[in-house]
């Protein structure tokens, strides 16, 4: 991190199931570490917390929950870590995150819940400086060993999820960048495309951490 008032960059990976988020997040982590950046990798849902254990059981279809209740738990799972994300950014670490609030909206809206209702609980979370959307067709994703056994891992569901992601991307502000990468290409080409987006952020970002979907205020969620 260079001198000045710079903070760490907040980078989010989004995409359909099997689009390569975890593979690319691991590669990016390694590359950032080689570039001598302090970096923290997170993944949502974080299945290790109390809330995350409930989410895990739901995703494995070991328990049932009302659609709205599980949506709020996914959001609460992010809020559990919101302060620590902001602290890491302020301390100069790059924060890399595998899925975030956009997955929350995409999956719940694809189930039929109203889009605005789905977005509401995540308003004011720390906003990414860039969201990298790994775009792939559900047909191509399925060829990658087929979908697994978890809830939502069905082609028709993934098709609707992709449509909601496209809406989110089209509505994202210029400041909170949404960049689409072709995730159907060779794995190394995807890695290079991602690096071109991330490299300029490695030396840090000027300005405070912004808030998701908040207008006119950059008030921190933690005291300075
Ligand atoms: N969910 C939600 O409803 N609400 C929320 O708020 C949040 C999530 C945060 C669990 O997510 C579910 O939770 C998810 C959304 C919902 N449901 N679905 N679907 P998860 O993140 O724990 O798990 P996942 O993301 O569904 O699946 P995944 O399998 O981890 O996908 P991935 O990380 O994008 O893919 P990958 O593991 O990196 O790669 C998959 C395979 O493809 C693997 O064999 C790779 O070697 C291969 N691969 C990767 N890239 C390529 C390329 N370029 N070419 C060829 N092969 C490749
Ligand atoms: Mg994954």
The predicted structure's pLDDT at residue 172: 86
**Radius of gyration for the chain, computed over Cα atoms and rounded to the nearest angstrom:** 17
Contacts of 205 (CB under 8 A, 6+ apart): 6, 7, 8, 9, 129
Q: What is the DSSP letter of 126?
A: B
Tokens coding 36: 């001598």
Residue 148 is predicted with a pLDDT of 81
Number of residues in the chain: 224
Which residues make beta-bridge pairs with 43?
98
DSSP structure class, residue 121: G
Ligand 1 pocket at CB < 6 A? 15, 17-23, 44-45, 59, 74, 99, 103-104, 107, 144-145, 152-153, 187, 190
Residue with tokens 């849902």: 45
Distance CA 133, CA 19 (A): 9
Give residue 62's pLDDT: 98
Structure tokens at 127: 């906003």
> How far, in Å, is the centroid of ligand 1 from the Cα of 14?
9
Q: Calculate how far, in angstroms, residue 118's C-alpha sits from the geometric centre of ligand 2.
A: 22
Residue 120, φ and ψ in degrees, nearest 5: -55, -50
Give the per-residue pLDDT at 219: 52
Return the pLDDT at 96.
98
207's CB contacts (< 8 A; 6+ apart) are 7
Phi and psi torsions of 17, nearest 5°: -55, 140
Percent of the chain clearing pLDDT 90 (strictly above): 87
Question: Which protein residues have a CB closer than 5 Å to ligand 2 (ion)?
Answer: 21-22
pLDDT recorded at residue 217: 47
Q: Helix, strand, coil % (nearest 5) of the chain?
A: 45, 15, 40
DSSP 8-state class, residue 128 = P
Q: What is the pLDDT of residues 143-184, one digit of tens each?
A: 997 778 899 999 999 999 999 999 999 998 777 799 999 999
Structure tokens that stand for 202 in this block: 């490695």
* pTM of structure: 0.95
Low-confidence ranges of the chain (pLDDT < 50): 217-218
- Nearest residue by C-alpha to atom 29 in ligand 1: 18
Domain 6-201 = CATH 3.40.640.10: no
Residue 179, Cβ density class (10 Å: 0-12 exposed, 13-18 middle, ≥19 buried)? middle
């Amino acid at each position: 991190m260079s001198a000045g008032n710079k903070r760490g960059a907040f980078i989010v990976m989004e995409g359909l199931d099997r689009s390569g988020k975890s593979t690319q997040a691991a590669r990016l982590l390694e590359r950032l570490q080689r570039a001598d950046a302090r970096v923290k990798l997170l993944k949502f849902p974080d299945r290790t917390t109390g809330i995350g254990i409930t989410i895990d059981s739901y995703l494995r279809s070991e328990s049932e929950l009302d659609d709205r209740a599980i949506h709020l738990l996914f959001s609460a799972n992010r809020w559990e870590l919101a302060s620590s994300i902001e602290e890491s950014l302020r301390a100069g670490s790059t924060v890399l995150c595998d899925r975030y609030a956009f997955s929350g909206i995409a999956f719940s809206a694809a189930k039929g819940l109203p889009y605005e209702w789905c977005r509401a609980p995540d308003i004011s979370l720390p906003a990414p400086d860039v969201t990298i959307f790994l775009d792939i067709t559900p047909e191509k994703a399925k060829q990658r060993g087929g979908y697994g056994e978890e809830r939502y891992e069905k082609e028709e569901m993934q098709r609707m999820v992709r449509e909601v992601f496209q809406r989110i991307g089209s509505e994202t502000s210029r400041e909170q960048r949404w960049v689409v990468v072709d995730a159907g290409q060779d794995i190394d080409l995807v890695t290079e495309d991602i690096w071109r987006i991330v490299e300029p952020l490695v030396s840090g970002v000027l300005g405070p951490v912004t808030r998701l979907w908040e207008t006119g205020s950059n008030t921190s969620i933690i005291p300075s």
